[in-house]
Amino acid sequence: MVSKKDIRWFKESFWNEIQAATAGTVFDPDMLTAVAAQETGSLWSPMRKKGLKRDEIVRLCCGDTLDSDKGRTAFPKTKADLIAHKDGQQMFDIARAALLDMAKHVPGYGFAKNRPNKFCHGFGVFQYDLQFFKVDPDYFLEKHYEKFDETLGRALGELNSALKKRKLDKKASITDFEFCTVAITYNTGGYKPNKGLKQGYYDKNSKKYYGEYISDYLAIARSIPAPHSNEVPPLAGAAVVTKPVAPSATGPRMRVETLINTLRLRSEPKISTPTNKNVIAELPDGWPVRAFTGENVNGFIEIEADLDGTIFRGFSSAEYLVKAPAKAAAAEPALAIPAVSMPRKPGTVTRRKDIAGAHSLNEPNMPTRKSDTPEELRAELAAIIAYLNPANKSHKRYRPRSGLTFCNIYAHDYCALANVYLPRVWWTHKALMAFASAKTPKPFYGDTIAEMRANDLFRWLRDFGEAHGWVRAESATELQNNANRGAVCLIIARRKQDGRSGHVAMVVAETDKLTAKRKANGEVSAPLQSQAGSVNFNYGNGTTGWWRAERFAEFAMWVHA
């Protein structure tokens, strides 16, 4: 794994060149930094430690040795294969010398000296492959790969080809996840949606795939401010989450008007069977939306809506959409309500093995989340799951009893150890009214604070979540991608019968053996989850689409960096 320090060096050293080269494209310097880190990042650190300068490191970035590799199908497979081609002997001599020059500075390549048929087939910072020698011989014979702008140009050319293969070349911009799929195509020549990021070169030591490395390196690059910018890096213990999609609808402005209940936003212009199957979100009555064209399709209009800062796109019944003013009224600023927790007597300890009350855990030596790379954040969240261990029947705090379940308490504990606020208790209406009058109430159980059930947490996230760092996710796929970067993610559903239990489950990072379920098109149908409830498990997929069950009035997916 390439260190954050080395990624910072690369981003800061080559920022200007990459920014100029990617201007007007869907790519950006962070994306190219991620590819470079995966391709040759392991060479930078030892060379930098030896004091080599930037351009010398660029010159020496050659690797991926060949001799008689049985697994390679592209040209050349062996030395004999190469020298049989026109100018092949000259090319072999260059490839052999490049390998030996690099081996002088990078540990682990000493074997090459005593194996005279060994040579490299990856050239330059972005590892332009020797298979292109047949069509682009001058690039290799004239050593163009020793110059950064030349190797960058070849990389962008290959990435643009991969972009076309992914049928993303007509888009004005692409998401980070889409870029990862392009990078996989750059590495392998293709992309299989149902495998997610577990594709491309496989590292047996780390048990990670090329796509997973690219995602991690991109997140690290995103966390490093651009040179000479005013960007603020994320705090330690926080993940880099998916950037919100910008609104794109340019049609008529409209407003929801049901006068009955919320309005369903669907993924297609029809009512599904069962009814909730294609529901993306519930739009409150009176909510402003914007149509793409305003055209009525099967009684539906395609619209987009901003819910808690996230753009949702889909179809809603034309019957419940009315024209709205050309310019929406400015929203009143939200009242800042501070976090609150249950006060406790000095010296008391709340433990996992005890039946749950309103207090948060405060056992000694509890794990937490404090790192700043995706790999470390994932490991810390895995340690939190192992510590809380809801599947352990001796942990009475989460064990169902007497018809009661404790998904809300497990979600609170998971978030609390991850340094994310999801309340175990919250201010009562009486206390909120006091805040509105510029007063600061004290937390008294049963008076100014009350315990939060899953249904309460649903409303809290809707009303107060954004002020405490929570952001809505548009889909289970987006949610899983953020969890894989080390973010805190959850799915929550509110029951139609308010006295009955809603449900909340944490969505957690995939591992080499535990994964989300994906459809053939790559869409996540069942994220990897961790929960307490009627059934407790540390890791599992649960019932596919459980949040769309008829017993729930609405659901939402949330991410916290």
Domain ranges of the chain: 4-223, 253-323, 374-560
Nearest Cα to 317, choosing from 271, 276, 348, 362?
271
SS3 452: coil
523 burial (CB, 10 Å; 0-12 / 13-18 / 19+) is: middle
Query: Which residues are bridge partners to 451 per DSSP?
Result: 425
d(CA 546, CA 124): 49
CATH class of the domain comprising 374-560: alpha beta
Question: Would you give the end-to-end CA distance of the chain in angstroms?
Answer: 22
SS3 314: strand
The domain 253-323 is classified under which CATH number: 2.30.30.40, 1.10.10.10, 1.10.520.10, 3.90.480.10? 2.30.30.40
Name the maximum alpha-carbon separation found in the chain. Answer: 86
d(CA 59, CA 143): 9
Q: Scanning the structure block, which residue is given the tokens 């497990």?
A: 410
d(CA 450, CA 358): 8
d(CA 282, CA 258): 12
Token pair belonging to 216: 């991690």
DSSP conformational letter for 302: E
User: What are the angstrom distances between the C-alpha of 415 and each of 106, 241, 360, 380, 502?
Assistant: 42, 16, 11, 12, 18
d(CA 207, CA 381): 18
DSSP conformational letter for 447: T
User: Phi and psi dihedrals of 330, rounded to 5?
Assistant: -65, 135
**Cβ atoms within 10 Å of 462's Cβ, excluding its own:** 19
Each of the 561 residues of the chain gets a pLDDT tens digit; together they read 999 999 999 999 999 999 999 999 999 999 999 999 999 999 999 999 999 999 999 999 998 887 766 678 899 999 999 999 999 999 999 999 999 999 999 999 999 999 999 999 999 999 999 999 999 999 999 999 999 999 999 999 999 999 999 999 999 999 999 999 999 999 999 999 999 999 999 999 999 999 999 999 999 999 999 999 999 998 899 999 988 888 999 999 999 999 999 999 999 999 999 999 999 999 999 999 999 999 999 999 999 999 989 999 999 999 999 999 877 666 677 789 999 999 999 999 999 999 999 999 999 999 999 999 999 999 999 999 999 999 999 999 999 999 999 999 999 999 999 999 999 999 999 999 999 999 999 999 999 999 999 999 999 999 999 999 999 999 999 999 999 999 999 999 999 998 899 999 999 999 999 999 999 999 999 999 999 999 999 999 999 999 999 999 999 999 999
Report the pLDDT value the prediction gives residue 326, as an integer from 0 to 100.
77
Report the pLDDT value the prediction gives residue 64, as an integer from 0 to 100.
84
Report the pLDDT value the prediction gives residue 327, as an integer from 0 to 100.
72
pTM of the shown model: 0.94
Q: Are the C-beta atoms of 75 and 92 separated by less than 8 Å?
A: no
Describe the crossing of helices 210-223 and 176-188 by its angle, rounded to 10 degrees. Answer: 140
Sign of CA dihedral 153, 155, 156, 157: positive
- At residue 191, what is the residue type? Y
